[in-house]
Chain A
Amino acid sequence: MSAVLHAHPESGPALGVDAGKPRKVLSEAGQRGRWWRFTAILAITAIVLVPIVVTVLLAFTPGPNSTATGLTFENISNVFSKTLAATWLKNSLITTLATVIISVAVAAPAGYVLSRGRSKAVSGYSLLLFVMQSLPIITSVVPLFILFAGMGLVDNLMGLTIIYVGSTMTVATWMMAAYFDSIPISLEEASWIDGCSVFGSFTKVVLRNSLPGILSTAIFSFLLAWNDYLVAIVFLRSNEIFTLPMGVQSFFQQNATDWTSVMALAVIMMLPPVIVFATLNKYFSVGGIGGSLAGR
């Protein structure tokens, strides 16, 4: 971001000898503009965050049958004791972590080939990935439901994970490829001369220098798997196999008036992605998604 800060006149360099006077005027105007923009952003952010603030507030507000006053953790602990929230949380964590690990493990090598390969087959595969990611999941869901039903993978977290990996891998592969593009090939060439194999230089040289790219891809896969609802609603049947989206939704449908408990569950569900994003957000760039698309 630092590169664009200079775009504002006030932070520009002095322009020749007579720059003093106009600069001061600009600076005052710039200062006013700055506070105007701050107020605008503050107001917009406040409005935009209303649904999220409401969720959090309700989750910590004492419920109708509660004796507590002020803010309370009662709803959260009630939800854990009254519902299968702990099981749903565990199911969601297992499915999501497995999706993230497998997605990166599949996308990184494929992305490397897309980044370094120059054959017709490689660019054809790149087009195929683009077409596949643009197709509605609902088309694959019905045939996969029939296929998985025969294999016992319906109402099964493994089945869910396989589909999540399949749907994240297309974009994940581009993101990895875009990152590998930013790693100079001279590093690999040096390792080949040292007698390293192509695979060896991929794991020892390229992957070792790709942590931001890997994290970015991992966050993307995390968000997709954690937030999915369509695949879960089709493939999950029993309460104890539900992931959090299904858990929250089923609880909401049965207890639509018990808002404090519903929101407590909602807060439990939104916490992991918010934490992941808050801590790792500097590694994540959707620009990377677009860039990877444009680059090849």
Chain B
Amino acid sequence: MALTTTQSGLSRARRGVAPGGPGTAPVKRRSKLSAQTSRTFFWLLLPSVVLLVLIHGYPLIHAAVQATHDGNLLQTGNFVGGENFSTVLTSPAFWKAAQFTLWFTIVGVFGSWLVGLGLALLLRTKIPAGGTFKVLLLLPWVVPIVVSSTAWNWLVATPDSLIPSLFRNLGLGTPLFLADPTLASITVMVFKVWVSFPFMMMMISAALASVDSTVYEAASMDGATRWQQFSQITLPLIARSTYISWILMTIFCVNDFPTIYLLTGGGPVSATTSLVVLAYRTVFQDFATGPGVAIAFLMTMTLVVISVILYRQIRKSSVE
């Protein structure tokens, strides 16, 4: 938590002085140190650069090649230009998956944010066993998706599972949580919110911890209501951290695979197939490498554009 609070001041300090930068050292010494610094920096960064090229750079270029060829997992095949892309862009399955991904992301980001915000506000003041609750509430995020999806399966999958039985006993009918297309989509989104809200809670708690409490005392002396205090003080003060958490969660949701795949496998009848699940199925179940990679590549290009814009925005907002 200390990291965020000390961030801005120290990064300002950091910009002021750097190794080999302006200081009291004599000119000659400084330039020697500066040359040594660049050399050391080069070696310190090298392993990271090598990995980035191997795990991210090379595959990206290779993916571009595959997306324009008609090969399979073993051979690259012949160059077909934009054919894979036009196949993908004209297929209804792609647009259906894109639509689901959009809804999944919107509900995932704002749902988990609202739950996380509510809990962070509740846990902010002193309550008995507050620390214990904080750790317990992080469990959905810490427990592996493979485990929690199994538990959710046990709870909702068949008409005789715990929750459908509960509905039946209450006289509400027997909802088929994973068999009905609409209900399955909702279940997957609720599951995503359940998995993600602790992340939001931690982000918001960290931001709230750095808010000076005297502001509220002053506000309540001036007669500000609870709602006014929340909307005029709390929200603006956590705005930047909220913005960053939205960005990160958007990326997490768009790229999510296990949450959806392990709970529903993308079904029923592809109702919960997101773009990542579609790409996975196209490549590894239909063995259509070209179109599958083309889907992944379209996602990649969209995310590159979005992330460059957002990165600029974050930097701009942190300078202000």
Interface residues of A (CB under 8 A from B): 1, 3-9, 11-12, 15, 34, 37-38, 40-42, 44-45, 48-52, 54-55, 58, 105-107, 109-110, 112-113, 115-118, 122, 125, 127-147, 149, 162-163, 165-167, 169-170, 173, 178-179, 181-182, 184-185, 188-189, 192-193, 197-199, 202, 223, 226-227, 229-230, 234, 244-245, 248-249, 252, 259, 262-263, 266-267, 269-270, 273-274, 277-278, 281, 285-296
Contact = CB atoms under 8 A, between A and B. Distances in A.
Contacts of A166: 51-52, 54-56
Nearest to B283: A142
Nearest to A219: B142
A249 B307 CA distance: 33
A41 to B, nearest CB: 5
A118 B21 contact: yes
17 contacts: A4-B209, A11-B126, A44-B119, A45-B137, A51-B152, A52-B140, A110-B48, A135-B60, A135-B304, A136-B255, A223-B142, A227-B146, A229-B258, A291-B4, A291-B7, A293-B244, A293-B314
A139 B54 contact: no
Nearest to A133: B251
A182 B314 contact: no
Interface in B272-299: 275-276, 279-280, 283-284, 289, 292-293, 296-297, 299
A35 to B, nearest CB: 8
Contacts of B168: none
B18 A5 contact: no
Interface in B82-113: none
Contacts of A295: 7-8, 11, 318
Given A134-B251, A262-B150, A270-B147, A178 B3 contact: yes
Interface of B: 1-4, 6-8, 10-11, 13-15, 17-19, 21, 23, 25, 33, 36-37, 40-41, 43-45, 47-49, 51-52, 54-56, 58-60, 62-63, 66, 73-74, 119, 122-130, 133, 135-140, 142-148, 150-155, 162, 194, 199, 202-203, 205-214, 216-217, 220-221, 240-241, 244-245, 248, 251, 254-255, 257-258, 261-262, 275-276, 279-280, 283-284, 289, 292-293, 296-297, 299-300, 303-304, 306-308, 311, 314-315, 317-318
B213 A7 contact: yes
A140 B140 CA distance: 28
Contacts of B245: 290
Chain B facing A: main interface SS: helix
A136 B14 contact: no
Contacts of B147: 55, 248, 266-267, 269-270
Given A15-B221, A136-B276, A285-B206, A130 B307 contact: yes
Contact of B44 (A42, A199, A252, A288): A199
Given A125-B45, A293-B244, A4 B303 contact: no
B135 A281 contact: yes
Contact of B262 (A110, A136, A229): A229
Query: For B48, B130, B220, which residue has the most chain A Cβ atoms within 10 angstroms?
Result: B48
B125 A7 contact: yes
A227 B144 contact: yes
A142 B275 CA distance: 15
A229 B318 CA distance: 35
Ordered nearest first, which 9 A-B pairs have the shortest CB separation? A166-B55, A287-B206, A143-B62, A110-B48, A140-B59, A109-B44, A291-B4, A51-B151, A143-B59
Contacts of B244: 290, 293-294
Contacts of A58: 154
Contacts of A223: 142
B127 A38 contact: yes
Contacts of A140: 55-56, 59-60, 63
Contact of B48 (A109, A136, A192, A274): A109
Contacts of B119: 41, 44
A163 B154 CA distance: 32
Given A55-B150, A248-B150, A277-B142, 18 more contacts: A1-B1, A5-B125, A115-B14, A131-B311, A132-B52, A134-B306, A136-B300, A146-B62, A147-B62, A162-B54, A169-B51, A182-B3, A182-B6, A188-B19, A252-B153, A266-B150, A278-B135, A285-B206
Nearest to A2: B209
A133 B251 CA distance: 9
Which residue, B145, B251, B257, B283, has most C-beta atoms of chain A within 10 A? B257
Contacts of B17: 185, 189
B60 A270 contact: no
Contacts of B43: 109, 199
Nearest to B312: A127
Contact of B150 (A116, A134, A144, A252): A252
Contact of B56 (A132, A230, A267, A270): A132
A113 B14 CA distance: 12
Given A134-B303, A263-B150, A278-B135, A48 B241 contact: no
Given A4-B211, A116-B14, A135-B300, A106 B51 contact: yes
